[in-house]
Amino acid sequence: MTTRLSVVIPCYDEAETLEACVAQVLEIASDRVELEIVIVDDASTDGSLPIAENLATRHAEVRVLRHPTNQGKGAALRTGFREVTGDYVAVQDADLEYDPRDLIRMLEPLESGRADVVLGSRYLTDGPRRVLYFWHSLGNRFLTLLSNIFTDLHLTDMETCYKMFKREIIQSIEIEENRFGFEPEIVAKLADRRLRIYETGIQYSPRTYEEGKKIGVSDGLWALYCILRYNAQSAPVGIQFAVYCLIGGASALVDLGVFGVLLTMQFGVPASAAIAFGVAALVNYQLCIALLFHRNVRWTRPVEWIVYTAVVVGVGLCDLVLTQGLHAGGFAPMVSKVIAAASLPVLNFAARRYLVFPSAGRGPWKPTYGD
């Protein structure tokens, strides 16, 4: 029985390696594996597009798609995934860091019906490897660890390029990230679906920045944000609360800052506390949507605001009463406000999670793919 494997190659300024990469991919074709190669040129400026088009004229397996403007790896994959027709879909970078022969090994758990997704891990291989950047490797491992904490998956290499999917799965997932944030985003969305995910060791020959490596520190920082953005809303409750503590801490700093400014402007303690809490609540709301709950609401927009306002007023009254009570008991105004702000995160989190932005979190009750 023949398996049709679609290989999507995102390409931006890879004229030096693209032809060799495609030649290596073509070599894995056999009587058992039929190939479809989709090159997505992301507005290259170095002549990659003519090379890709020449490959398409010489090889029936190759198709070329083109972006008129550069959008990033995630956007190129999104374009490629929409067009593929194979039984399974793999990602292949054009930079020769990955060996396409490993794709055959990754196919086995899928073909045998044991897996829905297979990731190629650079850290499970026992073969020779090129030794390069320590801090880059440490960063990859840290991002994988953080992703695992949020997804409850035990991966060794979340940031790997080599990911292979059943076609119907990857085509059913909306990819939002345009650049390298695709990696943590797709892992988060796979975890949400409780899919059967396998890892297998692969060979990896990293290139230096002088040789054309593109990922940098800013991409690592963005990956941190993506791990929060795509995981927090369905992470276990304890992890959600930890994220909310970060949000609450940022909101508390705004609260205290506005409170201090209003005191210097000769506002009274009750008025300063109420206004500061209201400003902090708006900041809290925006951060909750951006990082934690993503508008996972059960209400229409007007009703959502009414419910959220009621929550803010209720918690705000608690804050005000506690601040005034502490101040009346002899504490300085700012000390009273700090104690009050530090006493309310559990109540704040519970109100937002269970009333305004209901979220079930990850767990064994989550539906699996196809249920």
pTM of the shown model: 0.76
| Residue 62 lies inside a defined structural domain of this protein | yes
Q: Which residue among 170, 203, 234 closes a domain?
A: 234
Spatial contact of 253 and 341, defined as CB atoms under 8 Å apart: no
The phi, psi pair for 159, rounded to 5°, reads -85, 5
Q: pLDDT at position 129, please?
A: 67
332 and 208, same structural domain?
Answer: no
Q: Are 85 and 223 part of one and the same domain?
A: yes
Residues 253 and 216 reside in one and the same domain: no
Q: Kindly report the length of the chain.
A: 371
> How crowded is residue 298: how many other Cβ atoms within 10 Å of its Cβ?
11
Q: Which residue range forms the structural domain that includes residue 133?
A: 3-234
User: Confidence band (pLDDT; 50, 70, 90) for 187?
Assistant: very high
Q: Please, which residues have CB within 8 angstroms of residue 309's CB and are 6 or more apart in sequence?
A: none
- Are 239 and 232 a contacting pair, CB within 8 Å? yes
Angle between helices 182-192 and 73-83 (to 10 degrees): 50
Is pLDDT at 364 greater than 70 in this prediction? no
Same domain, 81 and 112: yes
The reported pLDDT for the residue numbered 13 is 94
Would 368 be classed as within a structural domain? no
Q: Is residue 174 classed exposed, middle or buried when 0-12, 13-18 and 19+ CB atoms within 10 A define those classes? A: exposed
Same domain for 253 and 180: no
**Cα separation, 72 vs 297, whole angstroms:** 31
Residues 105 and 230 in one domain: yes
**149 neighbors 236 (Cβ within 8 angstroms):** no
For the record, the structure tokens of 131 come out as 């030794």
- pLDDT tops 70 at residue 108: yes
Residue 154 belongs to a domain: yes
CA distance 273 to 172: 48
Select from 200, 234, 268 the last residue of a domain: 234
Q: Which of 278, 272, 258, 245 is nearest to 344 (CA)?
A: 245
pLDDT band at 366 (very low <50, low <70, confident <90, very high): very low
Answer yes or no: do 78 and 136 share one domain. yes
The verdict on residue 366 lying in a domain is no
Two tokens at 289? 């949507």
The answer on 243 and 186 residing in a single domain is no
Together in a domain, 278 and 196: no
Residue 304, Cβ neighbours under 10 Å: how many? 16
Answer yes or no: is 127 within a domain.
yes
Shared domain check, 310 and 285:
yes
Residues 198 and 272 in one domain: no
Choose the final residue of a domain: 199, 234, 269: 234
Residue 84 lies in a domain: yes
| CATH number, domain containing residue 222 | 3.90.550.10
Same domain, 229 and 299: no
Residue 212 in this model has a pLDDT that exceeds 70: no
Rounded to an integer, what distance in angstroms lies between the CA atom of residue 1 and that of residue 170?
A: 23
Residue 146 lies in a domain: yes
Matching residue, tokens 């206004």: 275
What does the pLDDT look like over 311-346, one tens digit per residue? 888 888 888 899 899 999 999 988 998 888 777 778
Structural domains in the chain (count): 2
The band of 286, judged by pLDDT with boundaries at 50, 70 and 90, is: confident
Q: Does 120 reside within a domain?
A: yes
